[in-house]
Amino acid sequence: EAGVTQSPTHLIKTRGQQATLRCSPISGHTSVYWYQQALGLGLQFLLWYDEGEERNRGNFPPRFSGRQFPNYSSELNVNALELEDSALYLCASSQQRGLTEAFFGQGTRLTVV
């Protein structure tokens, strides 16, 4: 069974540009979560999608947005990039809404210069 896959693995952008990160969940998983992990720090919750709808978002500005497609894959878009957006962005999927294991992708390392 294929795991959660993210693309690209690395992304370098300049300040003010837009970044698009992609996530494909495990087959059969309907929930997708996005997290930001700054270097040496913990997991900060960004967004949660389930069945194509945004269910919850973390304490991030509106320039962080995303969507979930009918096949449950997801995109994270970051507009007007700032230097402090440089981080590892992790996507996780789970089989159902709620109390179950979340499987993480390998992450996209975004560097803003």
Partner 1 sequence: GENVEQHPSTLSVQEGDSAVIKCTYSDSASNYFPWYKQELGKRPQLIIDIRSNVGEKKDQRIAVTLNKTAKHFSLHITETQPEDSAVYFCAAGLFMDSNYQLIWGAGTKLIIKP
By CB under 8 A, what part of segment 51-70 binds partner 1?
Answer: 55-56
Verify binding: residue 39, partner 1, rule CB under 8 A: no
Running DSSP on this structure, what letter comes out for residue 72? S
- Nearest to partner 1 of 81, 87 (CB atom): 87
Verify binding: residue 2, partner 1, rule CB under 8 A: no
In the bound complex, what is the minimum distance in angstroms from residue 74's beta carbon to partner 1?
16
Backbone angles phi, psi at 38, to 5 degrees: -70, 160
